[in-house]
Amino acid sequence: MTEIATGGPFDLAQTLDSGQVFHWQSHEVEGVAGFVGCLGDRPVWIGQPAPRAIRFLGVGADAVAAYLGIAEPVASLHATFPADDAVLAEAIAYCPGLRLVRQPVWECLATFITSSLKQVAHIRQISLTLRRRFGERREIAGCEVWTYPSPAAIAAAGEEALRECGLGYRAVGLHRTAEAIASGEADLGELEALDDAEARAFLLRFHGVGEKIANCVLLFGCGRYGAFPIDVWMDRILRERYFGPRKRRRLKPVELQAWAERHFGPNAGYAQQYLFHFARKTF
């Protein structure tokens, strides 16, 4: 077992339960509360024995630090936020140890395609079901875990089998996207060389991917901190806490998106995650 410092405030449970990832399961090892899951195809246990320490099994320190975002200069990111934003300050005070994770891009894209109009608990159940049915079994710390199914595995499964996993109409988008990637028609590796606008346009080509899902992939899968996903929770907190009754009703979604990106600055996506988690847990 290896232990590393977090380099600042960090809350493992909050980070893994903040609507970014959906497959981690609670599991205690040697008296330390933690979680089992996979980083890509590698089984991992991660625990937090102290406020600024992380222990883990299964992968190296660099992989854990990169995935959990603990190598990021959070104070520098905060310095780019609007200084007089009392709502954002309240949200950060509510969850100061929250970090943005960096997921495998395919896993992130596929998971958020299945997330449309679903609550976090439902997305989690779908993710775990897909893993168990079409992923590969691994073991860590005495637990079974499963990798996220590859595009080829999802493509081979077919739409009907995906519907049986609780996807409903989302099965079409996931299946067609998996087919495009598995066949070589689309290469997610191309995203790295594209700027944010080009990367967003690339993702919007996939069936079932709209602006919100594309921004989630940019933020949680590609580390593009300027991406600002807006779902029902974000729409609510932005309208209710930042605008008066008249303006909040008149604002169109595209106007709200443009305002948020301007207001929160170059790391708007990081601000978004504090606000999202705060809204979901307190509204």
pLDDT at 160: 96
Q: At what angle do helices 170-182 and 105-113 cross, to 10 degrees?
A: 150
Q: With beta carbons less than 8 A apart as the criterion, state whether 221 and 215 touch.
A: no
Largest CA distance in the chain: 56
Encode pLDDT of 205-248 as tens digits: 999 999 999 999 999 999 999 999 999 999 999 999 999 776 77
Encode pLDDT of 104-133 as tens digits: 999 999 999 998 877 888 999 999 999 999
Closest CA to 153 of 133, 124, 123, 125: 133
Cα(38)–Cα(52) distance, rounded to whole angstroms?
22
Q: With beta carbons less than 8 A apart as the criterion, state whether 127 and 174 touch.
A: no
pLDDT at 120: 85
Residues of the chain with pLDDT under 70: 246
Contacts of 244 (CB under 8 A, 6+ apart): none
- Is the pTM value of this prediction over 0.85? yes
pLDDT at 111: 96
* 269: its two tokens: 């996506």
